[in-house]
Amino acid sequence: MNHLTGLSRLSADSITGLLDTAAGFKQTLRSPNASFSPTLKNRRIALVFFENSTRTRFSFEIAARNLGAGTLGFSAASSSVSKGETLSDTIKNLEAMQVDAFVLRHPSSGSAKLISRITPKPVINAGDGSNEHPTQALLDMFTLREHFGSLKGLKVTIIGDVLHSRVARSNIYGLLRAGAEVGLCGPVTLIPPDAEKLGVRLFTDLDRAIAWADTAIVLRLQLERASGTYLPSLEEYSRHYGLTDERLERTGKHLLVLHPGPINREIEISNHVADRIQPPGYSKSMLLEQVTNGIAIRMAVLETLLGGTP
């Protein structure tokens, strides 16, 4: 593995290897005086973010520092991109400054793949348009594997704006490869037209999707990517596809609930469902556990791509 641009072609063995490596890091992260071997000492990792981020950017920064690497922050607004410099030129110039790896977030689908073809340095996709967000899917899979013990045969329903979701796409590829079953549930206009070909189950009725599933990944309604798409009103969306206690009570099913964040509270997920981590027997939110797991997964990805002698 030279780059991580997506999960669509990553083998089951590579996915398992990354989850196992992350499990080792998570154990150390849990210990009170966590300290890691600086296996990436003297390495420089450029965090090249053309879109905003809280979780992905900071957890990559923490992951890199845990392994002894230095990070270089980049934001499009304060760089020469604002003067018209291209993405390729930006990457080639950073490469000339002896950067050892690129973590790229960009609004264009395919941008991480494009960059991986122009630089010999490892490229990690931190989200490209509505295409893929592989480290988010890996941390979701890690969270599910840690809770259920295995992904094989697990029924995962992905709820909401699947059409615009790079998280959904990476999770579909990764979860299916790992032997899970995947259901998609949302308004017809927010389900990709080619979804059936992906090997997933399709639901338009949320109660049925919940009745089928062991766990739910709830997605953010991405209004910023939705121009040209027919959307229900927020009230309609919330009534039909919002995950609430009332709905879970009605279906008699309490699920493990994941969401990649950021969340639109009381639209796709109610406050109660988003925040409840106990008591047992009710739905359980994994939202903050996912964020912690993101550090372990990103350490595993950096270590796998950059570990060893520079």
Q: What residues are annotated to the active site?
A: 55-56, 83, 105, 133
Q: Which of 218, 144, 206 is nearest to 181 (CA)?
A: 144
CB of 74 to ligand CP, least distance (A): 15
Q: Does 260 bind ligand CP (CB under 6 A)?
A: yes
Residue 222 assigned ligand-binding role: no
Closer to ligand CP by Cβ: residue 93 or 108: 108
* 54 among annotated binding-site residues: no
From residue 217 to residue 236, what is the string marking binding to ligand CP with x (rule CB under 6 A)? --------------------
Q: Stretches 116-124, 143-151, 232-240, 259-267: which one binds ligand CP (CB under 6 A)? A: 259-267
Of 207, 211, 283, 214, the closest CA to residue 242 belongs to 207
Site for ligand CP in 42-61 (CB under 6 A): 53-57
Does 171 participate in binding ligand CP (rule CB under 6 A)?
A: no
CB of 55 to ligand CP, least distance (A): 4
Complex with ligand CP: residue 122 or 260, whichever CB lies closer: 260
Q: Does 136 bind ligand CP (CB under 6 A)?
A: yes
The encoded tokens of residue 288 equal 């903050």
**Is 136 marked as a binding-site residue?**
yes
CB closer to ligand CP out of 153 and 262: 262
Least Å distance, CB 181 to ligand CP, is 23
Select 129 or 247, whichever has its Cβ closest to ligand CP: 129
Q: How far apart are CA 3 and CA 306, in angstroms?
A: 10
Size, binding site for ligand CP by CB under 6 A:
10
Among 17, 110, 232, 261, binds ligand CP (CB under 6 A): 261
Least distance from ligand CP to the Cβ atom of residue 207, Å: 27
Q: What is the 3-state secondary structure (H, E, C) of 180-240?
A: CEEEEECCHHHCCCCHHHHCCEEECCHHHHHHHCCEEEECCCCHHHCCCCCCCCHHHHHHH
Candidates 18-26, 174-182, 256-264, 279-287 — which segment interacts with ligand CP by CB under 6 A? 256-264
Residue 127 or 129 with smaller CB distance to ligand CP = 127
Binding site members: 55-56, 83, 105, 133, 136, 166, 220, 261-262
Binding site members for carbamoyl phosphate: 55-56, 105, 133, 136, 261-262
Judged by the rule CB under 6 A, the positions of this chain that interact with ligand CP are 53-57, 127, 136, 260-262
